[in-house]
Structure 1
């Protein structure tokens, strides 16, 4: 669990730095930071998607995932959760929901979450999650400075999801098969690309409703390795 605990701490620490800096930064600086982060996220998503071998399978999973997510209204449920947290904490941040949802999707979408958690749980190697912690911590600084305290509370789903995979690692070891990782990486890359487009405000992609695509990617890779 050490990797997940460090990752959670990095999100909280990065968010705290971003919140402290955000009150002192002019609005134009915040805009530039978000644009820079958006471009970086787009580049990461493209690299993940283009390096994978199972691109067609990932596209099919994305289509199925989108339909499933819309029927289940996943993004609306995430928004409702964030709004409940905001009311409970009596937060004055007008962008609490956006910060929570954006950060949660960014930190949990991708193969590093699965690979790192399984390695940490099975052989006690937290190295992948430690690298992810560094990336998430830096992203938290930029996100929190612009989107507010909601980014900090994305540490909770990071702890629950990564911690859960780590604790169940022995039973989920099949997720580390090359075909599964390749398909998850391709699908996750497309989702991360969507997050980057949202950060750049080019359009509005309901990335939360596309999350079932990751489950379809795992099943598809196992059925058609």
Structure 2
């Protein structure tokens, strides 16, 4: 898992440098950086949806997944639990920054295909590229939200580790169709996060995270029974 470890280290380095910058930044610069991250998240979300939606073999699946996932997430109330947890470490807007970091770092083609290629072919190219991108992004986020952004490295390690282990033991399960559906839903969640950061609409994007679990479940059942 060299590629994943490299990716996580880049986030830690970026968060450290960004947190040092944070102490010297005036509030107006922090505000404009926050807005920049909001626009970036919106753009990345739109790009993911427009790129993968035309490739979908199940054009209604992402709608059903979002509906079911949102109900499950709201029942568990992931957003509130997450904010309470982060609140133990910071009284500032860290929860919003950390949720943004987690979505940006985890929900993307490089972060999903990377550990799969690493496991099956020993190719770390995707993860090294992703690590450099995440390092820069974490620097910018930490310059606004502080060093707490580094916590996203733990989530990223677990996320990529999940796909790494799944690729080793369930190679046939990691189909292009599954990756496409996950990318569509991920793009929508990143877009929603961007709107929240910009203050346009306060959306509970974290409560919709269970939607990412619906495509694997559906495609597995479809493979078994059809």
TM-score normalised by structure 2 residue count? 0.87
- Determine which of 160, 167, 170 is the counterpart of 2:168: 170
How far, CA to CA, are the matches of 2:148 and 2:11 in structure 1? 11
C-alpha offsets along residues 29-74 of structure 1, whole Å, 9 cap, x if unaligned?
A: 2222221222122111111111223343212211111011111222
CA contact (8 A) 1:165 1:172 kept: no
Count of matched residue pairs: 219
Partner of 1:36: 36
Partner of 2:203: 205
- Determine which of 58, 83, 86 is the counterpart of 2:87: 83
Partner of 1:186: 184
Partner of 1:216: 214
- Determine which of 98, 101, 105 is the counterpart of 1:100: 98
Cα RMSD for the two superposed structures: 2.1
Pick closer, same or farther for the CA change 1:42–1:9 going to 2, 3 Å.
same
TM-score normalised by structure 1 residue count? 0.88
How far, CA to CA, are the matches of 1:46 and 1:184 in structure 2? 14
How far, CA to CA, are the matches of 1:153 and 1:37 in structure 2? 18
What pairs up with 1:31-70 in 2 under 5 angstroms? Answer: 31-52=31-52, 53-54=55-56, 55-70=59-74
CA contact (8 A) 2:19 2:143 kept: yes
Q: Quote how far apart the aligned CAs of 1:175 are.
A: 4.8
How far, CA to CA, are the matches of 2:169 and 2:85 in structure 1? 29
CA contact (8 A) 2:107 2:183 kept: no
Q: Which moved more, 1:157-166 or 1:45-54?
A: 157-166
How far, CA to CA, are the matches of 2:103 and 2:41 in structure 1? 12
Q: Quote how far apart the aligned CAs of 1:118 are.
A: 1.2
Partner of 1:25: 25
How far, CA to CA, are the matches of 1:118 and 1:40 in structure 2? 26
**Structure 1 unmatched runs, 5+:** none
Q: Quote how far apart the aligned CAs of 1:191 are.
A: 0.9
How far, CA to CA, are the matches of 1:218 and 1:197 in structure 2? 27
